Amino acid sequence: MTVDIAIIGAGAAGIAAARTASALGKTCVVLEARQRVGGRAFTDRSLGVPFDAGAAYIHFSNRNPWIREARRLGIETRLWRGWTHHEPWLGGHPIAAEEIERRIAGYGELWEHIETLGEAFPDLSMAEAGSTLSPWAHATLTNMSRLGLGEEPTRLSLHDYISQWEGPDHILPEGYGSLVEASARGLPIRLGAIVRSISARSKGFDIATEQGTAQARAVIVTVSVGVLKAGHIAFEPGLSAPLLRALDGLDMGALTKIVLAFDGERFGLKPGDDKILLDAPGGSMSFEVWPFDRNIIIAVTGGDAGRDISRQGEAEAVDRVATLFSSLIGQDCRSHLRGGRLANWWTDPFSEGGYAYAHPGAFSARQALMDSGIEGLYFAGEATAGGRFGATMTVAGASYAGWDAAKRAAKHLR
């Protein structure tokens, strides 16, 4: 197989790159290791109803291209009501109203403090940035880090977080992954094509896969930072020193979902009676209750707690979450449990984590990752969206990065 552009990975970045390359008149092929498209945007239907095992929210939907794509494909989206409605639990009981007010005030205190730092403050960790604040502000920051970004606040660059675009979120009854999957239809995608090496030659590249070798004049690599750091793909010549330093400044968070499916028993809870267990083992855990009026509970944790529960495996993770959910409802839920799933990105060899974050002091690593140091080779994905777009860690960011890489590859070929 010989094409103008070979694209490694059929997630949002790879899909966007393929569409852009085709629109620019370039031949391309997308080589995907999994037996499905979408990458970390995946709608799981194994429990009988759809739920997003990975990306679930169309963030900053007022400027997110996936809103337009959903309209084009006739896929429903709904405005998300936000995150402040979760009922906090501590010590086996809902916390008092005055404690909730303190935590809400702590959230405001955190952002007021960030604003007072100005634009020239050093690239602190999120923990350092909040170290002088009240206990309530610090608790809010920790929960936001673990449950929003999937990592401990001591490891997260504050610059990286506040550079993100803001705006309303939308959710999809049929799943974000379903939307990404529908968008990929008709593209030249080879599933099960695990890429082992990419070798630069005099007039292009050889891409060695378990299905054979492809030749391309340019290559766009959209695999995760975790896959790159794990060395699952060999590069010839090796990656440049600046790019390796950029990879050192980035790592993958461990935002983790555990889904419980029930037989129709609702335990006195209504859809939207969401909870957050502040003293769950290893860190907070949120519980989304009967999303879209379906008989499932979606538990979310992150950071080291996410890594721990991922390593336990699915059966033990489901049992642990069933125990925690039982503590919230005051009875053992297991007699009504009909199945469970662990959405385990942390130990998935094709992901090696949820999404990329920058270490304190390494905010520039995202921009540096865009330059491979090898002519005709480009990296693109949610990790590189911070190079030009404030959309890292999102499906939209991956799409923007894919478009940008395809345009640069096409320009190189001209």
Supply the DSSP string of 12-60, one letter for each residue: HHHHHHHHHHHHTT--EEEE-SSSSS-TT--EE-TTSS-EESS---B-S
Give yes or no for residue 115 having a pLDDT over 80. no
Identify the domain containing residue 220 by its residue range.
Answer: 2-39+178-251+357-413
% of the chain beyond a pLDDT of 70: 99
Query: What is the CATH classification number for the domain harbouring 237?
Result: 3.50.50.60
220 and 88 in a single domain? The answer is no
390 vs 59: CA distance, rounded Å? 11
Position 119 confidence tier, pLDDT thresholds 50, 70, 90: low
Q: For 161-207, how does the pLDDT look when each residue is reduced to its tens digit (9 = 90+)?
A: 888 888 999 999 999 999 999 999 999 999 999 999 999 998 899 99
- Of 344, 377, 399, which one is at a domain's C-terminal end? 344
Give yes or no for residue 111 having a pLDDT over 90. no
Position 389 confidence tier, pLDDT thresholds 50, 70, 90: confident
296 and 189 in a single domain? The answer is no
SS3 content of the chain, % helix, strand, coil (to 5): 35, 20, 40
% of the chain beyond a pLDDT of 90: 79
- Does residue 154 sit within a domain? yes
Residue 275, strand partner residues: 87, 287
- Does residue 205 sit within a domain? yes
- Does residue 66 sit within a domain? no
Lowest mean pLDDT, pick from 32-36, 133-137, 228-232, 243-247: 133-137
316 and 267 in a single domain? The answer is yes
Helix (H) or strand (E) holding 316, with range, is: helix 314-329
395 vs 385: CA distance, rounded Å? 10
Q: Which residues contact 414 (CB under 8 A, 6 or more apart)?
A: none
Closest by CA position to 57, among listed 49, 72, 67, 48: 67
- Does residue 64 sit within a domain? no
**What would the two tokens of residue 255 be?**
């935002």
In 264-411 the beta strands, taken as DSSP E runs, fall at 275-277, 285-289, 296-301, 337-343, 356-358, 377-379
Alpha helices in 135-211 (DSSP H): 135-144, 158-162, 176-183
Average pLDDT over residues 271-283: 93
CA distance from start to end of the chain: 21
Helix (H) or strand (E) holding 217, with range, is: strand 212-221
Give yes or no for residue 104 having a pLDDT over 90. no
412 vs 306: CA distance, rounded Å? 41
Query: What is the CATH classification number for the domain harbouring 266?
Result: 3.90.660.10
246 and 260 in a single domain? The answer is no
User: pTM (2 decimals)?
Assistant: 0.95
160 and 268 in a single domain? The answer is yes
Burial string for 315-346 (b: 16+ CB within 10 Å, else e) reads eebbebbbebbeebbeeebeebbeebbbbbbb
The answer to whether the beta carbons of residues 256 and 284 sit under 8 Å apart is no
Give, as one character, the DSSP assignment of residue 257.
E
At 81 the pLDDT is: 86
Position 387 confidence tier, pLDDT thresholds 50, 70, 90: low
184 and 156 in a single domain? The answer is no
- Does residue 392 sit within a domain? yes
**What would the two tokens of residue 85 be?**
């409605």
Total structural domains within the chain? 2
277 and 332 in a single domain? The answer is yes
- Does residue 223 sit within a domain? yes
**What would the two tokens of residue 323 be?**
């125990």
Q: For 144-164, how does the pLDDT look when each residue is reduced to its tens digit (9 = 90+)?
A: 899 989 999 999 998 888 888
- Does residue 63 sit within a domain? no
At 136 the pLDDT is: 83
At 412 the pLDDT is: 93
251 vs 381: CA distance, rounded Å? 14
At 158 the pLDDT is: 87
What count of other Cβ atoms lies within 10 Å of the Cβ of residue 91? Answer: 8
187 and 329 in a single domain? The answer is no
105 and 244 in a single domain? The answer is no
Closest by CA position to 11, among listed 368, 120, 33, 278: 33
Looking at residue 135, its amino acid is P
HEC string for 381-400: CCCCHHHCCCCCCCHHHHHH
96 vs 99: CA distance, rounded Å? 5
- Of 322, 344, 366, which one is at a domain's C-terminal end? 344
260 and 162 in a single domain? The answer is yes
Average pLDDT over residues 31-56: 98
Give yes or no for residue 58 having a pLDDT over 90. yes
- Of 344, 377, 393, which one is at a domain's C-terminal end? 344
- Does residue 148 sit within a domain? yes
163 and 263 in a single domain? The answer is yes
193 and 325 in a single domain? The answer is no
Position 283 confidence tier, pLDDT thresholds 50, 70, 90: confident
Q: For 66-98, how does the pLDDT look when each residue is reduced to its tens digit (9 = 90+)?
A: 999 999 999 999 999 877 788 999 989 999 988
Q: Is the peptide bond before 65 cis (omega within 30 degrees of 0)?
A: no
Give the mean pLDDT of the chain: 93
